[in-house]
Amino acid sequence: MSELRQNIATREWVIIASERARRPNAFTETRQQPLTAERPPHDPHCPFCVGNEELDLEVERHPAIGAWQLRIVRNKYPALHDHGPVVRHFDGVRRTISGYGYHEVLVEHPNHNTTLGLMTHAEVRAVLAVYLSRGKAMSTDPRIEQIVIFKNHGERAGASLQHPHSQIMAVPVVPSDIRHRIEEARRFFDDTGQCVFCTMLADEVARNERIVYANDEFVAFVLYAASSPFHLWILPRKHRASFFHLDESELDGLADVVREVFHRLYYRLNDPDFNLVLRSTPAKEPENGYFHWYLAVVPRLSYMAGFEMGSGIFINPSIPEACAEFLRE
């Protein structure tokens, strides 16, 4: 029988449609295009491939001399521009803020035919290190309120280019979605004196029903109230509100979990389209006891339709416990 489950961190309800649930292996992609690894390592028409670099857009590269392993470039078609003041204008119901901010692209690898699940530990760690360093750098700008880091892989996830890349954006406002999550976390803390994310993590570790992979520092698990098939969170065991307060020594443990999760998704689900999103506290907010940064991993294996748009309640045609078991195998 179907049931409604609630994510206690966001207070969002999800329908686990067990009556029409599909077996986890039914979500294995039937692809119209080659797997990522089956593409050629170089595409002469790709702006991110070696030899096609648009050097006027480059912010930095690693290593700085010789053949590059990864590059940070300004987005050729940025949503925001990093010059000029932040000007606010209010006129009745019309509210605007000048489009100040940063919009950068991290080219994750020189090869066109790879992704996080196929990279080495060192290569994944290098990607995460740039997330950390560029986020820290943008946070020093007093006009910036929120750093948003995300990765789109595949057309259904919104990727317009196949070459492995992430995007790093910094905006002059705290988005309402972030504010909502912070307020819910603060409410839980006020009621219980505990971090809701730490509470969820402790429960997942104790039950061990939905954990996909874990090490001494990080845990990856399918959400109890997953809004879609194989919807995962990666949480640090150590409470910290901001990803950008992470110590670089912790990147090894994070790289281990990130690589393992995406390795399993790639091979068990046949290279699915996915979104990876960093959830972290606003740039100017100090460490606190109620928020807890994490990475959200959302394979794009189902679609949002009218009911989801009309109610805000997602229908998940899979069983989270079965999804986790499938990835553990």
> Which positions are catalytic?
165
* 195 among annotated binding-site residues: no
Return d(Cα 211, Cα 109) in angstroms, integer. 29
Q: Which two tokens stand for residue 293?
A: 């940064």
Q: Measured at the alpha carbon of residue 11, what is the angle toward residues 245 and 326, in degrees to the nearest 5? A: 80
* 46 among annotated binding-site residues: yes
CB atoms within 10 A of CB 91: 7
* 163 among annotated binding-site residues: yes
What 3-state class would DSSP assign to 66?
Answer: coil
Q: Which two tokens stand for residue 108?
A: 């994750």
What 3-state class would DSSP assign to 287?
Answer: coil
* 323 among annotated binding-site residues: no
Return d(Cα 230, Cα 22) in angstroms, integer. 12
Buried b (16+ CB within 10 A) or exposed e, 26-59: ebbeeeeeeebeebeeebeebebbeeebeeebee
Which residues are known binding-site members? Answer: 46, 49, 112, 163
Which residues are known binding-site members for Zn(2+)? Answer: 46, 49, 112, 163
